[in-house]
Structure 1
Amino acid sequence: MHKTIYSTQNALIKSLYQLKEKSRQRRKSGQFLIEGKRELSLAIKGGYTIETVLFYPDLFSESEAKSLERNGIEIIEISQDVFQKLAHRSTTEGVIAVAKTKSHQLHDIILNNTTPLILVAEAPEKPGNIGALLRTADAANVDAVIIANPKTDLYNPNIIRSSVGCVFTKPIATGTTSEILSFLKQNGIHIFCAALQASQDYHKQDYTNPTAIVVGTEATGLSDDWLQHSTQNIIIPMQGNIDSMNVSVAAGILIFEAVRQRRINK
């Protein structure tokens, strides 16, 4: 028989609400919330430890919940009020899980591919942009995503939502710019920085070797450290009146050019 919680004033529900709202609480507890069927499925596939599954039976059936009842996962039926308190999205599927965070240190990344393709983003601020970058990374099947000087934690509900669960599908690490530069150089990875200065057209470069595509923010671009250690700065020629585009769009163009070259050279 599974447990039931119907009050928003329940101590567990209050603590889970703090997990949803506060990055500090996620870091302190080493836990975060996952909302939605696809996101939960991708997290399980990605090797995340699921501790608790809360379900609202009008949207997520008891039999679906019971199918997750393994490996010590606690199943809790909740009321509509409780679900709405914990849910981040207005349209969702009636399931919220509590999961353990993973370590995202650079030394956790294992590059099995002899010619890895890595996406690096420096100091991305908007969770929506980070989510879109992670979707691009998944679509292109990159070997890893590295975030330099992160401004938000990876388990922010907006990142999980905007990445549609792709935060769980690829190895992700965070670190300082200098740590990441050292990691890339130690692994013999060519560094291509999206920048306006001293740049060549992106499609004229060879990305079939071990490659990192590095993008910065739309407002300030990449820091000088990246530009000084770049194998080559690259630029997407603009056809209109502006000199930049959304960081996730730019990253998609650059990453998929690398994918195209690699497919041709197989």
Structure 2
Amino acid sequence: MYKSISSTQNPTIKKLVSLQEKSRERRKSGLFLIEGMREINLALQAGYNFQHVFFCKTIVETQLLEDLLDALSGKAEVIELTEEVYRKIAYRSGTEGIIASAKAKTNQLKNLQLPANPLILIAEAPEKPGNIGALLRTADAAGVDAFILANPRTDLYNPNIIRSSVGGVFTVPIATGSTSEIINFLKKSNINIFAAILQEAISYEKQDFTEACAIVVGTEADGLSETWRVESKQNIIIPMQGSLDSMNVSVAAAILIFEARRQRGFFI
């Protein structure tokens, strides 16, 4: 028999609600929540350490739950919730009846394990969790060697990022740091910088991305900081035919990163 919680006023449940809603609580505790079987399995495969698994037996599929608990091998405390309590902490409307708490990783630049001739996607100061999630999906689809957030304005374990990335936050090597820290890291690693910026730029399809490189994108509102323009080996643009002068950052990143993949024989 598992421990069970039937009151929404239980201290554990109150803490879980805080983890869902408050970045400060996630930073303070070093914990975050993962909702849904796919995302939990991806986090498990990525080596995250789980603290608790919460389930509602009237919602979750029994076999999926049993398979997950077998994979965890007793490494997390399992707690059964009533449906009322479960829906109090559930973030998604189309829920699967299972939520886990896990230890966040530090995501430090020094911990990135890069292969020879890496391809890296960098985003400076993206504010919207949905855009970060979409960038992570692009990074996963293109099989980049790392995704780096410069000057992040939200934490990686925001539930909106986990949801919008459909688990991509667990499948792509990730690091965060300031713009200056990241540029120093790239220089020391002999990785070329290509900044998506208008000044002194050439069309992206004319650039050779086959050597070790980092493609850097900024926000739609502010673009990239001046530092990237100065430190870039070559600034690149995506020629546009319409009346607007910008596109969604995740769309722009996808165009650029898949061109780099094409040049590297990705579609062969």
TM-score w.r.t. the length of structure 1 is 0.97
CA distance in 2 between partners of 1:194 and 1:17 (Å): 39
Establish whether residue 28 from structure 1 lines up as the match of residue 59 from structure 2: no
Moved more, 63-72 or 211-220: 63-72
Gaps of 5+ in 2: none
The equivalent of 1:51 in structure 2 is 51
SS where residue 263 of structure 1 aligns? coil
Moved more, 56-65 or 252-261: 56-65
Moved more, 59-68 or 46-55: 59-68
TM-score w.r.t. the length of structure 2 is 0.96
Q: Find the partner of 1:108 among 108, 111, 133.
A: 111
Establish whether residue 178 from structure 1 lines up as the match of residue 180 from structure 2: yes
CA distance in 1 between partners of 2:198 and 2:120 (Å): 21
Deviations 1:152-196 (A, max 9, x none): 000000000000000001111110000000000111111010011
The equivalent of 1:129 in structure 2 is 131
Moved more, 153-162 or 6-15: 6-15
CA distance in 1 between partners of 2:265 and 2:140 (Å): 16
Alignment of 1:129-168 (within 5 A): 129-168=131-170
Which amino acid letter does the alignment assign opposite residue 122 of structure 1? E
- Alpha-carbon distance, 1:62 to partner: 4.1
Gaps of 5+ in 1: none
Q: 1:76 to 1:61 in 2, by over 3 A?
A: farther
Count of paired positions: 265
Moved more, 181-190 or 63-72: 63-72
- Alpha-carbon distance, 1:61 to partner: 3.3
Deviations 1:92-126 (A, max 9, x none): 21110000100111101011x21100000000000
Q: Percent identity?
A: 62
Q: 1:3 to 1:89 in 2, by over 3 A?
A: same
The equivalent of 2:88 in structure 1 is 85
Poorly superposed stretches of 4+, deviation over 6 Å: none
Moved more, 76-85 or 168-177: 76-85
Query: Does the 8 Å CA contact 2:41/2:68 hold for their aligned counterparts?
Result: no
Which amino acid letter does the alignment assign opposite residue 225 of structure 1? T
Which amino acid letter does the alignment assign opposite residue 192 of structure 2? H
